[in-house]
């Protein structure tokens, strides 16, 4: 599959699935959103690889083909995930990585860069801020805790397509196929369901510190590109401005017309991201 290969990396008693696109250049880690998978941002991964970057894209714990967390109450909080990711990086990366994170993957990047700065060479965030409104937190918690079931792949595909339409994001038919496949799993009764562990919802109740990330953001010292969708309902323009104001090494970028749910497919977004990483890839690293 386009030069990528998959591995199951042991992390304690569990395994994490990670897709790897090998290259000689610096390593970029792509961290997907809360109910996403390592396949979400494949087009971006391919283009990074084409520019010489080595790309690693894991399925987060409880997502895709990675094992669920052994601690469903707290394992999906950013703190526990950071511990797991550091162990993953010990296995699959040499030295600091450039981090690209969407939504929860971005929040995890803020946590990593603020907590263990030597691990992160640069940070690209798509549509994630340091806070999340309480109302949105409880809605997401409820929705994630009770994922729906479908009779077959066609029904699930329709559901995923409606999800993107309601979010205001357009997807081509081919991309809808790819994302449907990535987000699905076969159920015992022969039907189809979402791939993720419903216990992911526990983060919203048990880890309030994950939605108050200013202490970590204030410690981020690496170059950071903070991107926001112009029509985002998660990251306000005001919060983006404050994040940029607090961090002299941060560059703010608003993507015209974009919404929170975005696979980072557009040529404009990918150019912005890849050029940013390339501009910072020479700093303190061996290429």
Partner 1 sequence: MTGRVQDKVAVITGAAGGLGLAMVEALGREGAVVVLTDIDAARGEASAKALAGSGIPARFVRHDATVPEEWERLTANVLANEGRIDVLVNNAGGGLDMDIESMDFAHYKRMIALNLDTAFLGCKYGITAMKGQGGSIINISSVGGLIGTAALPAYSAGKGGVRLLTKCVAAHCGQRGYGIRVNSVHPGLIRTAAGVEVTRMATGLDEEGAVAAFASLHPIGRVGQPHEIANGVVFLASDESSFMTGSELVIDGGYTAV
Please, what is the minimum distance in Å from the beta carbon of residue 1 to partner 1? 32
Alpha carbons 276 and 44: distance in angstroms, whole number: 13
Nearer residue to partner 1 within complex by CB, 64 or 96 = 96
Please, what is the minimum distance in Å from the beta carbon of residue 284 to partner 1? 10
Tokens 């386009």 map to which residue?
A: 2
Please, what is the minimum distance in Å from the beta carbon of residue 202 to partner 1? 14
Nearer residue to partner 1 within complex by CB, 73 or 177 = 73
Nearer residue to partner 1 within complex by CB, 150 or 204 = 204
Nearer residue to partner 1 within complex by CB, 91 or 152 = 91
Please, what is the minimum distance in Å from the beta carbon of residue 157 to partner 1? 39
Ranges of beta strands (E only) in the chain are 4-11, 14-21, 27-31, 54-58, 97-102, 120-126, 149-150, 184-186, 192-194, 224-229, 250-255
Tokens of 93: 């990366």
Nearer residue to partner 1 within complex by CB, 113 or 277 = 113
Which residues neighbour 248 within 8 Å (Cβ) at sequence distance 6 or greater? none
Q: Do 213 and 240 meet the contact criterion of CB atoms below 8 Å apart?
A: no
Q: What angle do CA 61, 273, 232 make, to 5 degrees?
A: 70
Site residues, partner 1 (CB under 8 A): 74, 79, 86, 111, 114-119, 208-209, 212, 214-216, 218-219, 221, 246
Please, what is the minimum distance in Å from the beta carbon of residue 44 to partner 1? 27
Q: Do 97 and 56 meet the contact criterion of CB atoms below 8 Å apart?
A: yes
């Amino acid at each position: 599959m386009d030069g990528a290969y998959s591995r199951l990396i042991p992390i304690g008693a569990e395994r994490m699935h990670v897709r790897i696109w090998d290259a000689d250049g610096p390593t970029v880690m792509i961290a997907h959103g809360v109910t996403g998978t390592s396949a979400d941002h494949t087009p971006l991964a391919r283009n990074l690889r084409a520019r010489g970057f080595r790309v690693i894209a894991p399925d987060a714990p409880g997502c895709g083909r990675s094992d669920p967390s052994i601690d469903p109450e707290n394992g999906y909080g950013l703190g526990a995930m950071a511990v797991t990711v550091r162990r993953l990086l010990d296995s699959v990366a040499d030295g600091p990585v450039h981090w690209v994170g969407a939504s929860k993957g971005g929040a995890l990047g803020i946590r990593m860069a603020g907590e263990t700065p030597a691990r992160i060479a640069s940070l690209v965030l798509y549509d994630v801020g340091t806070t999340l409104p309480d109302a949105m937190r409880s809605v997401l918690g409820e929705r994630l805790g009770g994922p729906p079931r479908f009779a077959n792949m066609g029904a699930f595909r329709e559901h995923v397509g409606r999800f993107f339409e309601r979010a205001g994001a357009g997807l081509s038919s081919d991309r809808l196929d790819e994302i449907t496949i990535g987000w699905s799993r076969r159920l015992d009764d022969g039907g189809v369901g979402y791939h993720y562990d419903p216990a992911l919802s526990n983060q919203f109740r048990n880890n309030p510190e994950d939605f108050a990330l200013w202490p970590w953001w204030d410690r981020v010292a690496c170059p950071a590109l903070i991107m926001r969708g112009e029509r985002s309902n998660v990251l306000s323009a005001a919060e983006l401005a404050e994040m940029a104001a607090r961090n002299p090494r941060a560059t703010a970028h608003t993507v015209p017309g974009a919404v929170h749910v975005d696979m980072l497919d557009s040529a404009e977004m990918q150019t912005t991201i890849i050029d940013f990483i390339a501009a910072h890839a020479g700093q303190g690293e061996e290429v």
